[in-house]
Amino acid sequence: MKTIENPSIKLKFSLDRADYEDIVILRECCLEKENITLKLELDYKLSKSLNESIGKDKINEFMFYDGRKLIGYMGICQFGSETIEVNGMVHPEFREMGVFRRLFSLVKDEWNKRESQHMLLLSDRKSTSGIEFIKSTGAHYENSEYEMFLIGEARGATALKNLNLRKALNRDAKEIARQNAIYFQVNSSEEDLTLPEEESKHGMDTFLAEINQTIIGKVHMEVQNGVGGIYGLGVLPEYRGKGYGRDILMKAVEKLKEKQVQQIMLQVAVKNSNALNLYQSCGFKETSTMDYFKLTKNSFTY
């Protein structure tokens, strides 16, 4: 166990390349010590900071240094106006020294300045220290999410029923928001609408699933470091039970393989048994479990 000799804290609106590299080094140190998943969204954040102006009134990146060495990091992701997501890490040699506590205190201060009423704290289920810290804040268990990887070739392909994946345009933003509200109970105001053409610049492509030019669902795809990710897949209620979910998944796998990815992964809520069964039947296998705990303003105790 080392001692902290020259502590300092850096707060930023967004990441630059130097920040990114420091955080990646810290992440690798943590992963060498523990076989866990860290959902930090670093590539997305860096890409976004390089492609657009970030609101200067918000702090999203919290970094704790000892001299020039980054020993602690906590970051905020905000998807919609209601909830922020928070994840972070501390160097294994500098734990139990109050680093995480200090960073979390700063995150709470930032949260209190925002309109968001809820904070989700994330931790891999295998991270005992992470789960214990989150519980100490008074946060309550909300849900869990599996990370799944495709093992071998995708199985169970169907006839695809003339399904087409059309790359979304900015004019589709309201439709995408409407579907997110249906599938994931994520509500976005007019000002918070995500523009798919802008998201594409950051590496996240959105596709609307169509049958005879009628929209029946959607899916998001991203490639990072040779890994293709499938996110936000959904089928509108009136089109369910007809195999379209499997068709969309197969089309997404097909598109990612065209990009020569080395692996294909997706994330699914543990309680979403229909989607989980679908992904398992197509050859995806659970590799880790991310637990989400919720804090609501005026309810936390830490």
Please write the tens of the pLDDT for every residue from 111-161: 999 888 899 999 999 998 899 999 999 999 999 999 999 998 887 655 556
Question: How high is the pLDDT of residue 123?
Answer: 94
Q: Is residue 42 part of a domain?
A: yes
Residue type, 165: L
For the chain, what is the mean pLDDT? 89
Q: Do both 24 and 119 map to the same domain?
A: yes
Question: How high is the pLDDT of residue 33?
Answer: 87
Closest CA to 19 of 68, 80, 57: 68
And the tokens for 162?
């003339």
Q: Do both 261 and 203 map to the same domain?
A: yes
Q: Do both 14 and 120 map to the same domain?
A: yes
Range of 109's domain?
Answer: 7-144+291-296
Q: Do both 191 and 101 map to the same domain?
A: no
| Residues in contact with 76: Cβ distance below 8 Å, sequence separation at least 6, in sequence order | 59, 60, 61, 62, 84, 85, 86, 107, 110, 111
And the tokens for 239?
């089109």
Q: Do both 140 and 156 map to the same domain?
A: no
And the tokens for 184?
């994931």
CATH label of the domain that carries residue 124:
3.40.630.30
95-115 confidence digits (pLDDT tens):
999 999 999 999 999 999 988
CA distance 183 to 206: 15
Q: Is residue 184 part of a domain?
A: yes
Q: Do both 168 and 99 map to the same domain?
A: no
Q: What is the pTM of this model?
A: 0.82
Q: pLDDT band at residue 302, thresholds of 50, 70 and 90?
A: very low
pLDDT at 299 over 70: no
Q: Is residue 301 part of a domain?
A: no
Question: How high is the pLDDT of residue 120?
Answer: 94
Q: Do both 220 and 260 map to the same domain?
A: yes
Q: Do both 210 and 272 map to the same domain?
A: yes
Q: Do both 12 and 140 map to the same domain?
A: yes
If 0-12 CB within 10 Å is exposed, 13-18 middle and 19+ buried, where does residue 270 land? Answer: middle
Q: What is the mean pLDDT of residues 245-262?
A: 93
Number of independent structural domains in the chain: 2
